[in-house]
Amino acid sequence: MLTDSTTTNGHTDSYAKTEIIKEIDGNSSAINEKEDKEWTPLSWRTKPIRQGVVYDDQEHLQRVLNKLQHLPPMVTPSEIHRLRSQLRQVALNKAFLLQGGDCAELFEYCSQEPIESKLKVLLQMSLVLVWGSRIPVIRIARMAGQYAKPRSSPTEKVEGKEIISFRGDNINGYDPSDRKPDPERLLRAYFHSAATLNYVRSIIGSGFADLYRLSDWSLHHVRSDRTRQEYQTIVDRLTDSLDFMRMIGADSPSSPLNSVDLFMSHEGLLLDYEQCLTRLLPDPETGEKKWYNVGSHFLWVGDRTRQLDEAHVEYFRGIQNPIGIKVGPSMESNELQKLLDIINPNKEIGKVTLITRYGADQVEKYLPGHIQAVKASGHIVVWACDPMHGNTRQSSSGVKTRHFNSIIEELSKVIRIHKNNDSQMNGVHFELTGEAVTECIGGSMQLADADLALNYKTFCDPRLNYEQSLDVAFLIAKYHEKERSGPSL
C-alpha cells in the first residue's frame, strides 16, 4: 500500500524515537546545538512523512533493511567533498552545472548500451557548454539510483480498475499485476545502482571520455539548413581547438581531454533506503566523524516532500552531501528562507542547489521573488534551471509530452530574470536520454505530435532525446558566446 497524504511512518515503533529539539530564531540561521547532536539517520521517523510506502510484511522489510545497513558504500566522503568543492565554484559563478538523466531509471537500464548512451550525451553536452562559457562544467548524472518517483495519487485506473500507482522499480513493478510494494526491490535497487556506478567508473577511467572528442558526432538530424550550419560551425571550432591541444601535447592520459569527473545523483525519496546508506565516516579534510549518504554523491528533495517540519527535510538536514531542493510556484519566499536555514545552517557556499521548475508561463511571476528572498537570507546557492517539469502537457494522442520551444522559453526567461535581479543562472537540470526516443516534440528534428508514437518509451515523464539534448547545449553555448563577445541579447 502506498500513502500520498501526510502520515506518520508505519514502522516507527520498531525504532527508538529520537527527540528533536528545534530552535530557529526568526532572523538567524543558527540552530540549537542540542538539535545537531541529536540528529541521527533515524530521526526522520519522528516526523510526518509524505510519499511514504507501507509494506504488508514488516518482518520482511526489517530483514532487507538490516542487509542494506551492512552493504559497502557506493561512494566515498572524498568524492562527496570533491563535488562540494566544485559546486562552491559553481555558486561563485566560476563553473557551470550540467545535471541530467532519466526521469526514473528502470532496472533494465543497468546495461552497457543505455549507460554508455547517457554518458555520451552528457559528455558531449558538457564540451559544448565549456566551449560556449569558457568555464569548467560540473557533470552530475541522474543515474545509479534514480528509481523512485513521487506520484500525485497513490492509485490509478488501468482498464477501468483502480490499482496502486507505479512508483518506480525500487518499490513495485510497472505491470498491473505487480503493483504490491516489495521490500526485495530495495536490495535490487542497491545492486543495480552499484553495478551501474561500477561500469561508469570503469569506462571513464579507461578512456570513454574520448567519445566527447566529436569524431562520431552527426548533425544529419537538423532539418533547418541555417541551424545545421550554426551547429557545424561550433563543432568545427571545437575540433580545431582539440587538434591544437593534441599538437602541443595536452592530451596526456591525465588530461581533462581524456578523463572527467562524473558524479551521481537521485531524489532522496525512500527514506528507509537512504537511512541504511547513511554512515558515520571521517571527514577527509578534518578527520572528524560525520554523517554521509554513501549511496550517491548528490541528493535532492522534491517539490512534494520539502515541508519544513516533516520527515524528508529532517533527514536532509543531517547529511554532508550537497543537497538539491526543487523550487516551484507553491514555494513561498519566507518558506524558502526557512528551508535554507534548516538544510544549511552554517551557510556553506554551494552546499544547496536550488533547482527551479516553474513553467514558461509562470517563471516571471515567481522567480524574481525567490531570488530576492535568497539574497536577503545571506545564503549563496547554486541556481539551476529545470525547464522540464513545469512544461509537461498532454498530446493530442493522450500521452504526456513537452514542447521544446517551451523548454527553451523558460530557460531564456530564467537567464534574463537572473540578470535583471543581479544574479546568475549557474546550471541546468534536464530529464534526458541518449537514445533516439520520441517523447518531446520540437527541436531541430521538428518532431510533431504525430511522431510521438514512433518511439515513445518512457514509463514516467517525457525526456529529451540525444538530438534535442545537443540542441539545448548548442543554444546555451551560443548565448554564452554572444555574452562574451558582444552586447547582451
User: Is 103 flagged in the annotation as binding?
Assistant: yes
d(CA 75, CA 299): 13
pLDDT recorded at residue 108: 97
Residue whose cell numbers read 566515498 = 76
Q: What beta strand segments (E) does 93-186 contain?
A: 96-101, 137-142, 155-158, 161-164
Q: What beta strand segments (E) does 64-196 contain?
A: 96-101, 137-142, 155-158, 161-164
- Tell me the per-residue pLDDT of 43-92, one tens digit each, with 9 for 90 and over: 999 999 999 999 999 999 999 999 999 999 999 999 999 999 999 999 99
Percent of the chain scored above 90 by pLDDT?
73
pLDDT recorded at residue 207: 74
* Residue 189 pLDDT greater than 50, yes or no: yes
pLDDT recorded at residue 458: 94
d(CA 15, CA 3): 20
User: Is 431 flagged in the annotation as binding?
Assistant: yes
Residues of the chain with CATH 3.20.20.70: 56-207+259-483
Q: Which amino acid is located at 476 in the chain? A: I
d(CA 113, CA 161): 36
Per-residue pLDDT band at 25 (split at 50, 70, 90): very low
* Residue 283 pLDDT greater than 50, yes or no: yes
pLDDT recorded at residue 482: 87
In this structure, are residues 4 and 50 in contact, taking their beta carbons and an 8 Å threshold?
Answer: yes
* Residue 251 pLDDT greater than 80, yes or no: no
Residue whose cell numbers read 500520498 = 4
pLDDT recorded at residue 37: 55
Lowest mean pLDDT among 18-27, 260-269, 364-373: 18-27
d(CA 379, CA 317): 15
- Length of the chain, in residues: 489
Burial class (CB within 10 angstroms; exposed 0-12, middle 13-18, buried 19+) of 215: exposed
CA distances to 65, 81, 132, 275, 297 from 87, in Å: 32, 10, 19, 24, 12
- Tell me the per-residue pLDDT of 361-384, one tens digit each, with 9 for 90 and over: 999 999 999 999 999 999 999 999
- Tell me the per-residue pLDDT of 112-152, one tens digit each, with 9 for 90 and over: 999 999 998 998 899 889 988 999 999 999 999 999 999 98
C-alpha cell at 268: 532522496
In this structure, are residues 311 and 6 in contact, taking their beta carbons and an 8 Å threshold?
Answer: no
CATH 3.20.20.70 given to domain 56-207+259-483: yes
pLDDT recorded at residue 17: 29
Lowest mean pLDDT among 231-240, 299-308, 310-319: 231-240
As a whole number of Å, the CA-based R_g of the chain is 22
User: Is 326 flagged in the annotation as binding?
Assistant: yes
d(CA 329, CA 79): 33
C-alpha cell at 422: 543581479
What's the longest Cα–Cα distance across the chain?
67
C-alpha cell at 128: 559544448
pLDDT recorded at residue 317: 98
Q: Which amino acid is located at 70 in the chain? A: H
pTM of the model: 0.89
User: Is 142 flagged in the annotation as binding?
Assistant: yes
User: Is 357 flagged in the annotation as binding?
Assistant: yes
* Residue 284 pLDDT greater than 50, yes or no: yes
pLDDT recorded at residue 103: 94
Per-residue pLDDT band at 229 (split at 50, 70, 90): confident
Per-residue pLDDT band at 13 (split at 50, 70, 90): very low
Give the residue ranges of DSSP H helices in 134-280.
184-204, 225-247, 271-276
- Tell me the per-residue pLDDT of 382-424, one tens digit each, with 9 for 90 and over: 999 999 999 999 999 899 999 999 999 999 999 999 999 999 9
* Residue 195 pLDDT greater than 90, yes or no: yes
Tell me the range of 4-18, 178-192, 256-270 where mean pLDDT is highest.
178-192
What integer is the mean pLDDT of 453-458? 95
